[in-house]
Amino acid sequence: MSKTIAVIIAIFVIITGFVIAIKFDLFPKQQYGPYDEFIICLKASGARFYGNYANADSLRQMSFFGDSLPILERSGIYLECNSRGPSPQVKKCQDNGIKIYPTWIIEEKQYPGIMGLNKLEELTGCKREN
């Protein structure tokens, strides 16, 4: 009988621990870098970043996102215009008349060349966390 009570108490303690951990958000969230939320906002704004993995300016633009780059790449914001690049979307690049890398399209307007994060904030209304 005492073993049964001990097991019940142990299960109760474990369940209580999980409930407390969930309530106080103690489980780590998958986060890559400081710009994750900013990138989510950029996606919601409809911004698109057309680049070429073999182009130095495209790589520099990507570097601005630091550890958040995997979020940018998976979000659908970044479109690869080089047919030999990862997940190329050459037709979309051609359809949008992309000739310079990088090029951002925000609210149907093209912004060729490297764009600073402050300018992205200004054009999209998205804010970076400080």
CB atoms within 10 A of CB 29: 6
Residues 74 and 98 in one domain: yes
**pLDDT confidence of residue 24:** 64
What is the pLDDT confidence band of residue 80, given thresholds at 50, 70 and 90? very high
Residues 97 and 69 in one domain: yes
Q: What's the pTM?
A: 0.74
Residues 43 and 97 in one domain: yes
**pLDDT confidence of residue 105:** 98
Range name among 19-28, 46-55, 101-110 with the lowest pLDDT average: 19-28
Helices assigned H by DSSP within the chain: 2-23, 36-45, 56-63, 69-75, 90-95, 117-124
CA angle 111, 113, 118 (to 5 degrees): 70
Residues 24 and 42 in one domain: no
Residues 41 and 103 in one domain: yes
Residues 42 and 24 in one domain: no
Q: Residue 10: which domain range?
A: 1-29
Q: Is residue 51 part of a domain?
A: yes
Amino acid at 97: G
Residues 40 and 93 in one domain: yes
C-alpha to C-alpha distance for 54 and 59, rounded to whole angstroms: 8
